[in-house]
Amino acid sequence: MFLKHLTINRRGLCAFFIILFAIILRIILISQGWPETNSDEGTLGLMALHIAYRNEFPIFFYGQGYMGPFEAYLAAVLFHLFGPSLFVLRLGLILVFTLFLVSIYLLISQLFSKNLALITLFLLSLGSNGMLSIQLRAIGGYPETLLFGTLELLIATWLALSFNRDNSTHKGWIRLVMYGCWGFLVGFSIWTDLLVLPFILTTGLLLLVFCWRDWRTWAPICIIGSFLLGILPLIIYNFTVPSQESSLSYFLRVYRSDAAGNYINHIPLVQKIAGTLLLGIPNATGANPICPNHNLPLFSLFSHSNLDCTLYQGGWSLCYLLLLAIAAFLNSKALWKQRHERQSAIRYFARLMLLGSACLTILLFANSPVSALDPWTNSRYLFCLLVATPAIIAPLWEQISTVDLSSPWRVKLLAFINGPILIYIAVIWLMGYISIIQAIPSTQALNRQQEALITRPAAPSCNAYLLRILDLR
């Protein structure tokens, strides 16, 4: 019994040190001024200053009507504790990402195994330029969407697994509280960033399928009440503005327009697919290095100068989609076999919902104009794919973890192939971090240029002025 608990504690201790390792890596980067800042981050920092020292309470990002400034409110609290600076502004993002790592560890421990959860933590502790820049640049909506989406699936899975017709009164109250937490997270995450919608749809479906008897209790009331509380800022805004300025109108204009805000009538589907496969998915999921956007023009993909970029990044995306399809097939097959075993069926269904969230995220991105016009910059809209990482690599790990000397030769062959694939992903993400370290001097040089621009007698630019407010060094 003691050894059993010791094993559990050892895994928990490993998870703690991996998360600590991830925190240290990210603190090193932001302490060195990486990544370079931009005007969006300056705007968020300005909002945090207004919240902290002018008692202002904005509902959305300045100039927008559909994206809640959760990061600005978090930064305002940290400004009171440590003083305003770009480092402190980004420190809140590391806190959010840490909570995401804890949540995904708990989720994967429920759906798969603690060993896979540890491997997932290790992989997510690393990352490429595209992944880490979104994690560490305070431009709003991205790290918290990872956290909220994971928490929604974690709570929905717990509610499904713990469902019992004969729940006691005490357990019934606990379930109602958890329903309330899920409803609040749904409302709050919609206010924060609509990128979370795929997770809301899939976790809602999980609750509908396996917890439908709870709809006869107070659960729906708890969900609706807490949902309205979470989305209250959005409701207040939309009741006080004309319809053309509503959050839905803002969102549709952004979704149907290019990066400059111009409405796009029609873009060839092949161009959207090319942008999604050659730049969007690779940049969001850690391919390293990523070729510049101009190296991948649509109709010269197979020219001699662009062939390497096309093959590498296109191959990365195709392998990602292949792993996703294999995982979906295996879990669907297992779900059908275990459909009469409730606990197993719930786990396989929840895995499919995790994969479904990734599919919906990709489809929504591929259907938007930015996937064709500027997939390099807008690959951040695919950032939520990181949540599905464990479900995608699970078939690789399960083949490795179950092989032994008595296994058939086919199983051994698959394990021999799958092992290097996992190692390759880890090496690529590790190389991405190393390349960032090597790029820090150039980022610091850019920061010094910004500082020199600020100290000139002439009027500084708007972006430089915002950087000065944050006391950038």
Beta carbons within 8 Å of 277's beta carbon, 6+ residues apart: 313, 314, 317, 318
Predicted confidence band of residue 212 (pLDDT cuts 50, 70, 90): confident
Among the listed residues 131, 10, 46, 121, the one whose alpha carbon sits nearest the alpha carbon of residue 462: 46
How far from 113 is each of 123, 190, 203, 408, CA to CA, in Å?
A: 16, 30, 20, 23
Q: Which two tokens stand for residue 66?
A: 């559909």
Q: Which two tokens stand for residue 419?
A: 């092992």
Q: Is 263 in a helix, a strand, or coil?
A: strand
Predicted confidence band of residue 293 (pLDDT cuts 50, 70, 90): low
Positive/negative CA dihedral, 197, 103, 184, 234: negative
What local confidence, expressed as pLDDT, does residue 92 receive?
Answer: 94
Q: Is 301 in a helix, a strand, or coil?
A: coil
More confident residue, 262 or 397: 397
Q: Which two tokens stand for residue 191?
A: 């206010």
Contact call for residues 44 and 52 (beta carbons, < 8 A): no
Among the listed residues 423, 438, 388, the one whose alpha carbon sits nearest the alpha carbon of residue 285: 388
Beta carbons within 8 Å of 148's beta carbon, 6+ residues apart: 185, 188, 189, 192, 196, 199
In this prediction the pTM is: 0.90
What local confidence, expressed as pLDDT, does residue 472 receive?
Answer: 42
Beta carbons within 8 Å of 200's beta carbon, 6+ residues apart: 152, 186, 189, 190
User: Does the pLDDT of residue 2 top 90, yes or no?
Assistant: no
Q: Which two tokens stand for residue 224?
A: 């609706």
Predicted confidence band of residue 248 (pLDDT cuts 50, 70, 90): confident
In the chain, the largest separation of any two C-alpha atoms, in whole Å, equals 77
Q: Is 13 in a helix, a strand, or coil?
A: helix
Among the listed residues 28, 16, 62, 47, the one whose alpha carbon sits nearest the alpha carbon of residue 136: 28
CA–CA dist 468, 459 (Å, integer): 12
What are the start-end ranges of the H helices in 403-470? 409-454, 462-469
Rounded mean pLDDT of 38-56? 91
More confident residue, 417 or 303: 417
Phi, psi at residue 263, to the nearest 5°? -70, 135
Q: Is 344 in a helix, a strand, or coil?
A: helix
Contact call for residues 310 and 301 (beta carbons, < 8 A): yes
Phi, psi at residue 364, to the nearest 5°? -65, -40
pLDDT digits (tens, 9 = 90+) for 134-181: 999 998 888 999 999 999 999 999 999 988 755 555 577 889 999 999
Predicted confidence band of residue 297 (pLDDT cuts 50, 70, 90): low
What are the start-end ranges of the H helices in 211-295? 219-230, 232-238, 247-255, 269-275, 281-285
Q: Which two tokens stand for residue 386?
A: 């990181």
